[in-house]
């Protein structure tokens, strides 16, 4: 199985709902460029007896999602950071975000689709991180030189376990079409927009 692509980044606001989590207010995060899911302390703990390994345990202790998208949509940034996107008219029509010192960032579900190639054909592997919390993204840029160099927009989130009894942190599936993988993500995150948007 070879990795061949990444697509369809979605988000939705997470609500613990007394141990039965729900999602709302979701949509397209942006067009996916890169996604990296890394876990903290993912090595198993091993108990040794009679001079050898006798038992092992591996538990989820958190992680980090680093993703790059094609856009920096202020309405999406507002949603995942718990801000209000205000419409402005002066000096021209636009959107403004104000960042208070006591920012209260919501929990967010995040989903994307990894594409693999198996037996010379595509396989689509959607992943949903059930509970994440995004950080305020850094503002960085470089002046244009002789040629345009494209860069995506990077976002970082802390991965947590959900508040349900099982305390799942990730769900993963496999489909033969991207449309089915996308529909699966939307069903989990309670997103009702048309395919691709």
Dihedral sign from CA coordinates of 86, 89, 94, 100? negative
For the residues 136-147, what does the mean pLDDT come to? 76
**Nearest residue to 69 (alpha-carbon basis) of 147, 2, 137:** 137
**pLDDT tens digit sequence for 58-113:** 777 789 999 999 988 899 999 999 999 999 988 888 999 999 999 999 999 999 99
Q: How far apart are the first and last CA of the chain?
A: 29
Radius of gyration of the chain (CA): 19
pLDDT at 12 over 80: yes
Measured CA to CA in angstroms, residue 34 lies from 5, 14, 93 at distances of: 9, 23, 32
Which pLDDT score, from 0 to 100, does residue 1 have?
A: 63
pLDDT at 28 over 70: yes
Cβ-based neighbours of 77, under 8 Å, separated by 6 or more: 83, 97, 137
Residue 15, number of CB atoms within 10 A of its CB: 16
State pTM to two decimals: 0.86
């Amino acid at each position: 199985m070879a990795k061949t692509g990444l697509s369809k980044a979605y988000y939705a606001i997470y609500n613990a709902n007394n141990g039965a989590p729900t999602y709302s207010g979701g949509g397209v995060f942006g067009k996916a460029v890169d996604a990296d899911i890394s876990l903290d302390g993912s090595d198993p703990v091993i108990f040794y007896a009679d001079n050898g390994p006798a038992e092992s345990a591996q538990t989820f202790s958190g992680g980090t999602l680093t993703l790059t998208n094609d856009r920096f949509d202020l309405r999406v940034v507002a949603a995942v950071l718990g801000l209000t996107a205000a419409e402005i008219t002066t000096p021209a029509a636009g959107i403004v975000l104000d960042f208070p010192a006591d920012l209260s960032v919501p929990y967010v579900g995040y989903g994307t689709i990894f594409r693999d190639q198996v037996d010379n054909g595509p396989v689509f592997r959607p992943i949903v991180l059930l509970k994440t919390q995004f950080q305020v993204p850094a503002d960085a840029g470089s002046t244009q030189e002789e040629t345009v160099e494209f860069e995506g927009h990077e976002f970082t989130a802390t991965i947590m376990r959900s508040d349900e009894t099982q305390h799942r942190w990730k769900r993963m599936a496999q489909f033969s079409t991207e449309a089915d993988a996308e529909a699966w993500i939307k069903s989990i995150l309670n997103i009702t927009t048309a395919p691709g948007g």
